[in-house]
Structure 1
Amino acid sequence: MTAVATATAEGPGRTAATGPGTAPRRAGPLLLGVRHHGPGSARGVRAVLEARRPAAVLIEGPAEADALAALAGEEDMRPPVALLAHAVDDPGRAAFWPMAEFSPEWVALRWALDRGAAVRFVDLPAAHTLAAADPTWDDGEDEVAGGGPRIDPVAELAAAAGYEDAERWWEDVVELRGDGDPAAPFEALAEAMGALREAYGHGGHPRDLVREAHMRLRLRDARKEFGDDVAVVCGAWHVPALARKTTVAADRALLKGLPKVRTETTWVPWTHRRLARRSGYGAGIEAPGWYGHLFTAPDRPVERWMTKVAGLLRAEDHPVSPAHVIEAVRLAETLAALRGRPLPGLDETTDAVRAVLCDGSDVPLDLVRDRLVVGDVLGRVPDTAPAVPLERDLARRRRTLRLKPEAQERTLELDLRKETDGERSRLLHRLRLLGVGWGEPAPGRTGTGTFRETWRLRWEPELHVRVAEAGVWGTTVEAAATAKAEAGARGAATLTDITALAEHCLLAGLADALPVVMRALADRAALDTDVAHLAQALPALARALRYGDVRGTGTEALADVAAGLAERICVGLPPACAGAGADAAAALRERIDDVHQALGLLPEAAGLADRWADVLRRIADHDRVPGLLRGRAARILLDDGRISDDEAAPLMSRALSPGTTPPDAAAWIEGFVGGASGGGLLLVHDERLLALVDSWLASVPAAAFTDVLPLLRRTFSAYEPAVRRTLGELVARGPRSGGQDRPAPGATPGFAAGLDRERADGVLPLLHLILGTEARV
């Protein structure tokens, strides 16, 4: 490990350069070994290229990208961006090669385009990469080809230099180094990597040998064309392999027989947030915003960074003054000196921001990390970049509807009565149907049957892959969504799936797909005899009918199917409830609630409403129906005014009679007053029902009490704390008696015999104040 020690021992300002054969200033091509997405490497690459001015620049990247290199020089191209390659026959098999403004590869590409130098991408073609079992070539593998542990070169070099933290070593040696000889780090890293490869064997990714063989072949081709006036920008680990003398036959033998697929390649926008992710297609850069700042700051990076932080915190109403900024800079520099660092790094600036600008709180510090350290920068690519027809249609629709892709999540409120908002809603619903999750419905002012929708929008880079996958369904968003909906209707496994699809078609305005979906829905509904399935399917149809009215979509066929489903539910529900077990009863309770709400949405449903009320009466009166369902049916009838309080009390009294088992009685109570149905307030305002529950609970035998306690706790724990407190006070007080509070004969306990108008009028001024209305004399 002599070379490693030599390369790291002299500190960040005086890196040694003793590498034989790989030094950029010697005869032969420039071999610039970099760390991907490192601003220090990027600055060094730019300085060395400017000094040597090679005729050709070879960059680590898929060979197919040669045809796309010129696009990087267009005005509309703005990093972060990524090269995207996907298999033509399987667009979901894709790989990305991200580049940020501070990526050495991007700097080399732009330098070559600006100076008129030739550009070649020399890595293994994506056609072979995508044919592998893992097209992303996950860097998480622990074993290397031929056995032995896989090493982290940066971690090994950091350990040799006495650092426990590899990232801190890299910052000290490369990112925060002074303005010395720009070629020195490349020379030292080349020798250090050579020593590591010699000490540990290959020690890299199993596919590195194949990739390096292809790079050497491409380098030979470039030298035949340009001589030694060639520069190679690649990962530092590969530099010794490119400098090694091999034969053409040996390299071609490594590439012989590699699997291959037909691919398409293009540029796509990328985000800083995606660069920061270590999984999937991320680049594993913990602080892309900080690295971008180091690369672009012309001087005094710490002072400029603290100014950015202060501006962000001020915009969020945090009291930050110029004195705070000055003190934070001083603290960061002091911490760097105490820790033996050449300049303050991210750790020092973060500690200073927390202590001075955030008053020791991590809450505003998290904001700084999210907005600045990582950032929400979204790149941009020109319209001339290759794209599937579906993506071009989506881009056209986005521009027409003024929907701009953004990396930061934002909320979009839509009023469906407006033409533009209606078109936006249809586009977002069509994309969801295609699996392109740019927008997700969000809770807000959105409600069943309303004319408003709320969406959360965030554009993620991998959505480009989803669009490419969806391109097999059609060349426009509408045509692709229609084709996928029709295919989904033919292959739907359950009635619920088809009803959900019908609802989605109405939301997305897919009129051409509705006939196919409706035929499949009618066929499936005619064959399905499970009442639970029918009840689960009806709410989606009801919502679709209501949304159709708001959006101006024809829904006549849906209305007929929904009415037929409702009739069949009314016929089959009472027998299905009779004798149901505990689990089945809990599921049927949800279905009863869903059907009740759905029937309220169906147009001209008066006849069905009466029929439904009769069904609920049969369930509430049937002794073989579980108590949970009888109690729920009784409560719905009471809330709808189908039975009076005087009729509800006998139902409760019978359900809580000594002839009913305690568990069944507790289940009845749960169905009647449980959950979020407002049952607590019902007991608060009707002391007669409360007294029945209290009397029954007092009469439960001790042996059965432990069986019913969990049910009762589940029922009453859902009440608001104020409701529970009031119920406790009422039970502790007992029935009222004496004085003016004594109820009249036959009156409800706790209530006067008639309306006290004087007391009621006392509430009116407060109501007028709340509602903003004027009191009428």
Structure 2
Amino acid sequence: MTTELPTGSAVFIGVRHHSPACARLVADTVEALRPAYVLVEGPADLNPRLDELLLGHELPIAVFSHYRDEERTATSWTPLCDHSPEWVALTRGQAVGAQVRFIDLPAWHPAFVERAVPLANRFADAEARYAEATRRLCRRFGTDSVDALWDRLVEVADPEGLPERLDAYFDLVRGDTEAEPGDRAREEYMARWIRAALARAGGRPVLVVTGGFHTPALRARAAGAGPAEEWPAVPEPPDGALGGSYLVPYSFRQLDAFAGYQSGMPSPGYYQLLWERGPSAAADALSEQLVRRLRARHVPVSTADLIAARSLTEGLAAMRGHPVPARTDVLDGLASALISEALEQPLPWSGGGTLAPRTDPAVVEMVAASTGDRVGRLHPATPAPPLVHDVEAQLERCGVVPGRAATADLTDPDGLLRSQVLHRLRILGIPGHARSSGPTAGADPTFTQHWEPGPAYGREAALIEAGAYGARLDEAASVALAERARAATAASGTTSTAPDELSRVLFDAVLCGANALSAELLAALASRARTIAALGPTGEVLATALHLWRHDRVYGMAGDPLLTEVVDAAVDRVFWLAEGLHGGSGVDPGRLRAMAVARDALRHADGLLTLPRAAAVDAARRIAADPAAPPDLRGAALGLRWSLGHGHGEAADRARSLAAADPREFGDWLAGLFALARDEVTGQGDDSGGSLPDELDDILTAMTDGDFLAALPALRQAFAYFPPRERERIAERLLARRGRRGSARSLLRTSADPLDLARARTLEDHVNRLLDRHGLRARDTAR
């Protein structure tokens, strides 16, 4: 376990992050050695602030590190809990008077971010690269997963001989594996710290605590220590870039492998018990917690179940060679006693990873109980990034109180500021308020926003982490939006939804008051609008740009020429794409929305457009008459012409011919028509309409039962374009045509499925015809 070096000795402890057994070994080693230095895998840029780390926080916490330049923002976390070997090394080392140091590169360094899979978590070491070695060990020891193997070899095993077992384990799993360039850079940097500490230790021991994957390489690299070895410099971010680290609260939920944590132990609640009480007591306490949680969730657990679970747990432990029950023994025993149905998914602790869909609810509760609900808390004296203080000042300035509802009137300067502050917090993912109503891209004008208070869990950590984007709230929101815009622009050549995402970013930028960014996004959209390959995304771009143009004074974009260019280009693109679209069936809401927004542009922004209204109406005429065009698009094209004052006499004739030709397409065609000319259909658009519902009634009444059943699903979808009040008026009209009295509203609110009613009517008619054929119905009536 130790290596003698010329200027002193280095003791290496390779650990698995968040392992209680490794943490206990570190504590015992520190107490026995009383080393001159304790060197720990962690961000070296935090060394000047180690006193801040040791203020007296309630764990778990994490060191949050960030980096930002003009091209990218990178973030990383270094989590610490009571049973983290790194935390124990720091605290116990300080207690015995050792000099404690973090010795790894800063998290923004290329060693972390310029790799095949960038590390969002410093402790997500290279386990995937030595998976084959661990699979062989699992087969050798008859375990289902690496976690169960680790428990058997380390956590519940006899602590005697643990250092040798750890050395053998990590030597085996590292083997001859070629480390990534990033890992090699980190290991060389950490070795320089070790050599420098050895040169200054005066013959006293130096304790090195790092992830076990790195330990074999560090032993070899640290062997060349010399008397003049200097402390390594901490790399600075490049010119023009910002980087740093802050402490944030963390939780057991975030630490749990079942929730997607990249490294370390699953079920942190169990390992906390293991750290506090030892293996035997931890198994009993875990069983108690599992049962308590299951009963709280109304999962029946009887005394007989508990006896069976305990017997199964002890039997499994004995069969697996565990001196005391391990975590998987407890979980398997309880699952076997409580779950009698066949499981759709394997038990999650048998393989690791996140919970799969359709996992049995009892299993979900067992995982949650073993995870624990502990949430960390920072000491009040912990420094926070400038953004935290700026947000507090901004909220006070605009009168927003956490935990209370807020209203913002966009026509009032104070209300507009309040809206911008709340939207900036939304963009940064800061919990606390959720908008319940307000303007949306492409919607009718709404100048009042309502925000409801939401759960504040994670707010402190989210604010600190958002500090990676900037020191001020407006700056941070702009940087976050620019990052989204770059991602959408980068994807523009590979996905047709990129312009759609750019339009969403644009609307968010306007809501946040990020005017400079809005100009950049408008320029990008203007260049892309004429090349978008699909109607749906084109419609979203047009909806956003038209909404901003129509209400430009509220949003502060009045007269922007780029906005005019986007509207013009998108309208032209909508008609070009629509006229070339052939084939397909069903209703596509995206293309119907695109046609509806193009109609609105022709209505409200005709003076902006290079496409004359007459040319647009003529294009719609060609689309409506094109038998190769999708039925919903043909209906939408006719609806567009009708809503602009053309072709109002065509609807009934086209409806009759289409219903006779293909009842299945009839409903799709109506959906397009209703989406574009709803008011005209009901007679609210102009005096020339209003008769189509009667024509449709006649068409549907004349259909055979089979044709009606075929058309009914699409018809239901089509009439969903009418709001409830308009559907009620149509129902009243139909009742009146039949000379019947009754409540149209109750007719619409029938609890039975119309498809079921239609099928029942068809079956009833079939039975009546069969009875008539055999003369049975008449005889029954006479009787």
**Aligned partner (choices 360, 363, 366) of residue 360 of structure 2:** 363
Residues 386-535 of structure 1 correspond to what in structure 2 (within 5 A)? 389-390=386-387, 393-394=390-391, 426-427=420-421, 429-430=423-424, 436-437=428-429, 451=449, 467=466, 470-471=469-470, 475-481=471-477, 500=504, 503-508=507-512, 510=513
Q: Which residue of 2 aligns with 1:756?
A: 740
Residue range with higher mean Cα deviation, 79-88 or 379-388:
379-388
In structure 1, what is the Cα distance between the partners aligned to 2:180 and 2:568?
62
Q: Which residue of 2 aligns with 1:308?
A: 289
Q: Which residue of 1 aligns with 2:208?
A: 232
Q: Which residue of 2 aligns with 1:82?
A: 63
In structure 2, what is the Cα distance between the partners aligned to 1:71 and 1:633?
66
Task: Quote how far apart the aligned CAs of 1:104 are.
Answer: 0.7
**Aligned partner (choices 91, 98, 101) of residue 79 of structure 2:** 98
In structure 2, what is the Cα distance between the partners aligned to 1:218 and 1:65?
15
Q: Contact between 2:574 and 2:594, CA under 8 Å: does it hold in 1?
A: no
In structure 2, what is the Cα distance between the partners aligned to 1:88 and 1:673?
49
Q: Which residue of 1 aligns with 2:39?
A: 58
Cα deviation code 1:516-538 (max 9, x no counterpart): 58996998899999997985544
Residue range with higher mean Cα deviation, 456-465 or 281-290:
456-465
Q: Contact between 2:20 and 2:85, CA under 8 Å: does it hold in 1?
A: yes
**Aligned partner (choices 319, 327, 344) of residue 346 of structure 1:** 327
**Aligned partner (choices 39, 46, 52) of residue 20 of structure 2:** 39
Cα deviation code 1:360-379 (max 9, x no counterpart): 57522343255233456554
Q: Which residue of 2 aligns with 1:282?
A: 262
Task: Quote how far apart the aligned CAs of 1:175 are.
Answer: 0.8
Quick check: 1:690 aligned with 2:671?
Answer: no
When normalised by structure 1's length, the TM-score is: 0.63
Task: Quote how far apart the aligned CAs of 1:119 are.
Answer: 0.9
In structure 2, what is the Cα distance between the partners aligned to 1:204 and 1:498?
39
Cα deviation code 1:50-103 (max 9, x no counterpart): 455445422223433322322222134532413526477766345543333321
Structure 2 SS opposite 1:169: helix
**Aligned partner (choices 150, 153, 158) of residue 173 of structure 1:** 153
Q: Which residue of 2 aligns with 1:650?
A: 653
Task: Quote how far apart the aligned CAs of 1:171 are.
Answer: 0.9
In structure 1, what is the Cα distance between the partners aligned to 2:570 and 2:70?
49
Structure 1 SS opposite 2:298: coil
**Aligned partner (choices 668, 671, 674) of residue 669 of structure 2:** 671
In structure 2, what is the Cα distance between the partners aligned to 1:753 and 1:163?
75
Q: Which residue of 2 aligns with 1:248?
A: 225
In structure 1, what is the Cα distance between the partners aligned to 2:286 and 2:65?
32
Q: 1:463 to 1:154 in 2, by over 3 A?
A: farther
In structure 2, what is the Cα distance between the partners aligned to 1:94 and 1:585?
46
Q: Contact between 1:112 and 1:119, CA under 8 Å: does it hold in 2?
A: yes
Task: Quote how far apart the aligned CAs of 1:570 are.
Answer: 13
Residue range with higher mean Cα deviation, 460-469 or 536-545:
460-469
Q: 1:719 to 1:306 in 2, by over 3 A?
A: farther
Structure 2 SS opposite 1:121: strand
Q: Contact between 2:385 and 2:464, CA under 8 Å: does it hold in 1?
A: no
Task: Quote how far apart the aligned CAs of 1:640 are.
Answer: 12
1:756 maps to amino acid: R
Q: Contact between 1:414 and 1:452, CA under 8 Å: does it hold in 2?
A: yes
2:582 maps to amino acid: A
| Sequence identity percentage | 24
Which ranges in structure 2 are unaligned for 5 or more consecutive residues? 344-358, 493-497, 683-691, 720-731, 751-783
Structure 1 SS opposite 2:554: coil
2:225 maps to amino acid: V
Q: Which residue of 2 aligns with 1:189?
A: 166
Structure 2 SS opposite 1:61: strand
In structure 2, what is the Cα distance between the partners aligned to 1:577 and 1:157?
59
State the superposition RMSD in angstroms: 6.5
Cα deviation code 1:578-624 (max 9, x no counterpart): 9644169999984554454798899999999xx99998799469875
When normalised by structure 2's length, the TM-score is: 0.63
Task: Quote how far apart the aligned CAs of 1:235 are.
Answer: 3.4
Q: Which residue of 2 aligns with 1:540?
A: 544
| Alignment: residue pair count | 669
Structure 1 SS opposite 2:223: coil
Q: Which residue of 2 aligns with 1:218?
A: 193
Q: 1:599 to 1:45 in 2, by over 3 A?
A: same
Q: Which residue of 2 aligns with 1:372?
A: 369
Task: Quote how far apart the aligned CAs of 1:301 are.
Answer: 1.5
Cα deviation code 1:325-348 (max 9, x no counterpart): 565344322332233322222222
Which ranges in structure 1 are unaligned for 5 or more consecutive residues? 1-18, 144-149, 405-411, 699-711, 724-747, 768-777
Structure 2 SS opposite 1:285: coil
In structure 1, what is the Cα distance between the partners aligned to 2:606 and 2:408?
28
In structure 2, what is the Cα distance between the partners aligned to 1:673 and 1:584?
15
Q: 1:543 to 1:219 in 2, by over 3 A?
A: same
Residues 568-717 of structure 1 correspond to what in structure 2 (within 5 A)? 580-582=580-582, 590-591=590-591, 593-594=593-594, 596=596, 619=620, 624=625, 628=631, 629-633=633-637, 648-653=651-656, 670-673=668-671, 686-690=696-700
